[in-house]
Amino acid sequence: AMISLRSIIFILTLFANISAYTHTPCNRFTRPQFQHPNCFVPPLSPTLLLTSASFLYAHDAATGYISCNSISPGEISSSYSKNQVGGVGEQLNHGVRAFDLRMHLLRNGSMVFHHGVISIPVGLETVVEEVLAWCELHPTELVLLLHSDLTYQNGTGTDLYTEEGYGNVGTNAMAEVYNRLGVPYHHCRDVYG
């Protein structure tokens, strides 16, 4: 069954009333991202399917937290893993509305990010809090936090880079973070059945 954008907004319960807006600032860096002059984004039709909507999407969004100021061996490989500039708040300010977040569940139960074998020591709670703070200032915006490439550490400390076996342990840990912050967490199966 097809789900309309309005239904998704209701399901996410994060944001409502998508309306037209002009991105600020509209400068030489942001202007090329928009099809309309002056960085204008027209209102979305309430019947538009989420799968038909266009979003500026940040691949491996958490790599924006990687610092390239160090020349230690770990940082050298980390700098080659960096796909984005700035944290999610800065990316939101530059027009990103959908984020590819690749979670890594540590043995202690905390959730951090990764890009392949590179661990990004920023917690899911930090990122969600940053998004919530931005959304309080922009209450008519729809922001999608999409999780992929879920990984975990096993009991011996070996990193397992597979979604197999991750099962409910990872999704439960993510749901716990979202629920603690008052944000409903919806698994894909909740949306698609």
Q: Which helix (H) or strand (E) holds 41?
A: strand 40-41
Report helix angle 167-180 to 124-137, nearest 10: 40
Band of pLDDT at residue 8, cut at 50, 70 and 90: very low
Q: Is the peptide bond before 25 cis (omega within 30 degrees of 0)?
A: yes
Share of residues in the chain with pLDDT > 90 (%): 19
How many whole angstroms separate alpha carbon 191 and alpha carbon 5?
Answer: 12
Band of pLDDT at residue 191, cut at 50, 70 and 90: low
Band of pLDDT at residue 15, cut at 50, 70 and 90: very low
How many whole angstroms separate alpha carbon 30 and alpha carbon 53?
Answer: 19
For residue 34, give Cα distances in angstroms to 123, 153, 167, 168.
31, 41, 39, 39
- Tell me the pLDDT tens digit for each residue of 80-135: 778 888 899 999 988 889 999 998 888 888 889 988 878 888 999 999 999 999 99
